[in-house]
Amino acid sequence: MNKKEISELRSRLQLDKNAISCIRGCYVNDKREVVSVFDYSLMSLPQEEAEKYLALFKRTLAGVPAKNLIDVDFSVDQVMDSEEHRLLMEMRNTALKDDDIVNAFYLKVIESLVIDGNYLILLMHDSYDVPFRGRDDVKVDDASEEVFSYILCSICPVKLTKPALSYFAVENEFHSREIDRIVASPEVGFIFPRFDDRASNIYGALYFTRDAANTHEELIDAVFHAEMPMPAVEQKETFQSVLEEALEDEMSLEVVQTVHEQLRERLEEHNTDKTAEPLTISRNEVKNVLESCGVSEEHVAKFEEKYDEQFGLGMGLTANNIVDAKKFELRTPDVVIKVNPERSDLVETRMIDGSKYILIRADEGVEVNGVNIRIGQKEQ
């Protein structure tokens, strides 16, 4: 799913725009015991409560595609006949009305998910009468192409608050408030089926993880039994290691600046198109950047070899996962320098009198601890 498709579904999660048939939940304690279950009609809830449930579901569709919103693909065999796909389809087709089916899903999550403390499994079913969009991308509300029926799952930690002094409006006084349990933002979740090209795709789901470094693979295996791409954080760390090991002494500031700058420019250009899939960078594209920096043929060839070993032959990497377009940082054991990514050219490294230096051109506007300073002749 691309940004625009995700945004279209998120925009439905408002009281006056959805057709949510029910909200179901299962509260689980830290011993993996079911504390309570519930089945609500959204319209029967007080407005404030209904909006809070919708806010939790909406956060499950918030994030960066291919980083913490990850496409899950089912094989043809799974769709034809598999326990995991059959369960998801039955949940969707029965609009979460079958208790046995929903309870089977709860059990699957409880038996697999590794998470500290108590948590709440939330489920909702919605039917979206997808409006037609013309070639000019103008939405025609009274012209529908299909009804997109889907389920959305949000798994939220339930955390303890701290005792505090609190204001009680009825008494117009302050009193001690005891420890309470509150539902936090979702840790993981998913939507099934996927909303690809603004239509239902039962061959896929969209999986959400709050922490890109921890995708909870145990839950993915239990619910989808599908192979996931390398986590975003691991992709970045592995890509950096491949560069360092392959280029060795040619791994210079200039090389890092050039790789970062060219990928950043590609990302910025790509991100203007919200209908596009996440930008993928191939091995050959990085190879061309390295060659443009003057990296030797030997080290470029070593990079290609190590890249294929780590990521697989012909595999591309999601650009957002290997470069932070909004960050350029230099770090030593004692100093951290943060630079505007668009002005990394202000920084260079140099050897002076046998010592290594990081040099930053500073023409004006230099502050130290908030105090403006002037760089005069004696610093020359």
Do the bridges between strand 204-209 and strand 69-73 make them parallel or antiparallel, or are there none, so unpaired? Answer: antiparallel
CA 224 to chain centre: 18
Q: How far is it, in rounded angstroms, from Cα 253 to Cα 347?
A: 9
The candidate with the shortest Cα–Cα distance to 122, out of 158, 175, 80, is 158
Q: How far is it, in rounded angstroms, from Cα 69 to Cα 6?
A: 10
Q: Which residue has the tokens 């029910």?
A: 22
pLDDT digits (tens, 9 = 90+) for 126-175: 999 998 876 566 566 565 678 999 999 999 999 988 888 887 888 888 88
pLDDT digits (tens, 9 = 90+) for 42-100: 888 999 999 999 999 999 999 888 889 999 999 999 999 999 999 999 999 999 999 99
Do the bridges between strand 22-28 and strand 34-40 make them parallel or antiparallel, or are there none, so unpaired? Answer: antiparallel
Token code pair at residue 247: 């280029």
pLDDT digits (tens, 9 = 90+) for 178-212: 778 889 999 999 999 999 999 999 999 999 999 98
pLDDT digits (tens, 9 = 90+) for 18-46: 889 899 999 999 999 999 999 999 888 99
**Mean pLDDT over the full length of the chain:** 89
The candidate with the shortest Cα–Cα distance to 222, out of 319, 87, 356, is 87
What are the angstrom distances between the C-alpha of 265 and each of 190, 286, 325, 326, 367?
Answer: 31, 14, 8, 11, 29
Q: What's residue 283's pLDDT?
A: 92
This prediction's pTM: 0.82
pLDDT class of 124 with cuts at 50, 70, 90: very high
Percent of the chain at pLDDT exceeding 70: 96
pLDDT exceeds 60 at position 380: no
- 366 touches 278 (CB < 8 A): no
What are the angstrom distances between the C-alpha of 324 and each of 27, 76, 252, 320, 328?
Answer: 37, 36, 19, 7, 8
Beta bridge partners of 207: 70, 190
Token code pair at residue 313: 């032959």
